[in-house]
C-alpha cells in the first residue's frame, strides 16, 4: 500500500516542478522588457543560490549521523568544487542563449525547442560510447520534423530566436551529461547551489561589461526575476530532487518534460501568444519525440 502512495506523491511533486519551469519562460520573457539578458540571469541565479542555502543547512543537520571519513570528505569537496564550476559555466552559456532567444521568439516555441535536449542527450552519448536504440533514432527524426513545422517559416527561413534557443538546447544537453557524471559523487542541492552562484557571477560580469545594469531597472523587474530565481531555480530544483527519490527515472523524466507543454499554455494564457495550426502540429510531433526518446532508456539528470 505504501509503495503505491509514494510514486503518486512523487509524480505530483515532479509535475509541480515542471509547471514552475514552464511558467518561468513567461517570467523570462517579461523580464527582458526591463533588463538585459545577462542582468536577468545574474540576479535570478544569485537568488536561486541564496534560496538553496537553508535547504543545504537542513539536509546537513539531518545527515549528521552518516559522517564520512576525512579522505572521503576531501574527495567530495574536490568533486563538488570542480562539478559546481563546470556545471555553472555550462548553465551560464545555456541560460543566456535561452534568455536572448526568448526575446526574438514566442514562449511556447522556446519551451519546445529547449525540450530537444531530451532527444539530444542520447545522441551526444553516442560519442561517449553509449549506444542508441531504434526508438531514439525515430525520436530524432520526429523532433526534426517537429522543429521544421515549429521554426521554419513559409519562406524557408528560421528565426534568430529559434537558432539561439536551439543552441541553448545543445548546451543544456552537455549540462545534463556533466551533472550525470558529478551528481552520484556529491550532494545534489549543494552542486546546484554552487552552479547557480558560478552562473550568477559570470552573467554579472558580462552584464557590467555589455549592459551597464541599473538598480531601478532591476527593481522594476522584481516580480519576474524573483519568480525565476526563487521558484524556478530554488524551489523547482528541490522538488525535483525529492520527487525523483524512489521513483523510476524514466517516468520522472517524462513528467518533467511536460514543462514544454506548460510553457505553451502559459504563453497563451498569460501573454496572449498564439501558435498557428502548423506550429501546434509541430509541438505535438516534438512532444511525441520527447516521450519516445525517454521510453527505451533511463535519464536521471534534469535541470
- pLDDT given at position 297: 52
What tens digit of pLDDT does each residue of 195-251 get? 999 999 999 999 999 998 899 999 999 999 999 999 988 888 778 767 766 665 545
The answer to which of 16-30, 44-58, 116-130, 171-185 has the lowest mean pLDDT is: 116-130
Select from 219, 212, 221, 172 the least CA-distant residue to 27: 221
302 pLDDT more than 50? no
Cα 212 from Cα 218, distance rounded (Å): 11
- pLDDT given at position 140: 74
Cα 286 from Cα 284, distance rounded (Å): 5
pTM of this prediction exceeds 0.85: no
What number is the average pLDDT over the span 52-78?
78
> DSSP code of 227?
I
What number is the average pLDDT over the span 31-41?
93
Amino acid at each position: 500500500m505504501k509503495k503505491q502512495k509514494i510514486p503518486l506523491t512523487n509524480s505530483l511533486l515532479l509535475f509541480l516542478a515542471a509547471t514552475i519551469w514552464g511558467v518561468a519562460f513567461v517570467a523570462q520573457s517579461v523580464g527582458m522588457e526591463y533588463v538585459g539578458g545577462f542582468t536577468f540571469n545574474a540576479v535570478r541565479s544569485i537568488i536561486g543560490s541564496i534560496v538553496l542555502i537553508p535547504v543545504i543547512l537542513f539536509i546537513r543537520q539531518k545527515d549528521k549521523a552518516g559522517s564520512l571519513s576525512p579522505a572521503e570528505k576531501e574527495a567530495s569537496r574536490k568533486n563538488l568544487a570542480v562539478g559546481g564550476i563546470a556545471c555553472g559555466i555550462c548553465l551560464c552559456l545555456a541560460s543566456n542563449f535561452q534568455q536572448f532567444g526568448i526575446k526574438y521568439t514566442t514562449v511556447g516555441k522556446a519551451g519546445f525547442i529547449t525540450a530537444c535536449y531530451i532527444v539530444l542527450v542520447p545522441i551526444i552519448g553516442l560519442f561517449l560510447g553509449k549506444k542508441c536504440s531504434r526508438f531514439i533514432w525515430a525520436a530524432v527524426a520526429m523532433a526534426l520534423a517537429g522543429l521544421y513545422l515549429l521554426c521554419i517559416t513559409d519562406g524557408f527561413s528560421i528565426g534568430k530566436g529559434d537558432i539561439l534557443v536551439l543552441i541553448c538546447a545543445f548546451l543544456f544537453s552537455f549540462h545534463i551529461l556533466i551533472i550525470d557524471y558529478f551528481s552520484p559523487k556529491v550532494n545534489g542541492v549543494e552542486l546546484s547551489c554552487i552552479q547557480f552562484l558560478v552562473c550568477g557571477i559570470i552573467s554579472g560580469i558580462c552584464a557590467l561589461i555589455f549592459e551597464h545594469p541599473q538598480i531601478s531597472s532591476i527593481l522594476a523587474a522584481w516580480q519576474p526575476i524573483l519568480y525565476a530565481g526563487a521558484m524556478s531555480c530554488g524551489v523547482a530544483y528541490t522538488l525535483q530532487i525529492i520527487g525523483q527519490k524512489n521513483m523510476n527515472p524514466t517516468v520522472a523524466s517524462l513528467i518533467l518534460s511536460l514543462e514544454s507543454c506548460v510553457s505553451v499554455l502559459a504563453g497563451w494564457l498569460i501573454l496572449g501568444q498564439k501558435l498557428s495550426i502548423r506550429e501546434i502540429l509541430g509541438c505535438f510531433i516534438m512532444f511525441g519525440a520527447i516521450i519516445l526518446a525517454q521510453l527505451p532508456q533511463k535519464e536521471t539528470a534534469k535541470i
